Amino acid sequence: MTPDAFTNLQILNVTRSALFSGNGGTNKGFCNAYQMEWWFENFRDNKKYPSPIVGGRAAKTYKLQFQRGVGDQDDGADMQLNVGDANKGEVNVAWIQARSHDNSSHYIQTVVQQPSLPGQGPFILAFNRKGDWPMDGNDVGQLKWFARGQTIDMGTYDGTQALAIIDLSLGFPSHVGELFVKDILTGSFGGSDAKSVWLLVRRIINWPFPS
């Protein structure tokens, strides 16, 4: 990934609060960038990030781009996403990481976390590797689903990707949400259950939203 190739990452916030960056304290991850061209509106390490990262029940698209040049194996960045602005580990939901191999190849990944918020959750993530969030229910099959403890290999796609952060308690009883999580962790989630979560996202997000 170079200044001539970049990912437009569309983040959909399907939770009860805005998503904020987390840094320091008990946060598992942090918010920083080193030798990145673009990282959540941070340009060439100017340390300027929006607050919130994504508003409540909304979506926002960010340009993510590595720099090209000497020392590419050192390029990296982090974005700890939290549900709400408490800035502590209990609200960690997703840790997006940009990393480089010793051979200077690059990749982006997301570690799925589980906030501990009374009356909320469980939380899951849905990922579309190539394209926006599907607007047609017939295209749900292009989504991949992830739950606590899993890591999403996002690669360095030169185009648009979509990442939805979903609080299942917005549409399902807690025991149903936990069954969904169990199925995701065992790789058996899909079909009508996936379609029902897709419908939840379509209902919760304030469409249309700005890119």
In this prediction, residue 182 carries a pLDDT of 98
| Alpha-carbon distances, residue 149 vs 30, 105, 134, 157, 191 (angstroms) | 17, 25, 25, 23, 23
Domain assignment present for 11: yes
Structural domain of 156: 7-204
In this prediction, residue 35 carries a pLDDT of 80
Domain assignment present for 102: yes
Residue 46's pLDDT band (boundaries 50, 70, 90)?
confident
Question: What's the total number of domains in the chain?
Answer: 1
Domain assignment present for 2: no
Where is 83: in which H helix or E strand?
Answer: strand 76-83
The mean pLDDT of 43-53, rounded to a whole number, is 89
Q: CA 59 to CA 44: how far, in whole Å?
A: 24
Domain assignment present for 209: no
pTM: 0.93
In this prediction, residue 4 carries a pLDDT of 54
Residue 73's pLDDT band (boundaries 50, 70, 90)?
low
Domain assignment present for 210: no
Residues in CB range of 140: below 8 A, 6 or more apart: 134, 194, 195, 198
In this prediction, residue 1 carries a pLDDT of 46
Domain assignment present for 76: yes
The mean pLDDT of 110-129, rounded to a whole number, is 97
The mean pLDDT of 63-85, rounded to a whole number, is 82
Q: CA 29 to CA 84: how far, in whole Å?
A: 15
Domain assignment present for 1: no
Residue 209 has pLDDT above 70, yes or no: no
Residue 206's pLDDT band (boundaries 50, 70, 90)?
confident
Residue 36 has pLDDT above 90, yes or no: no
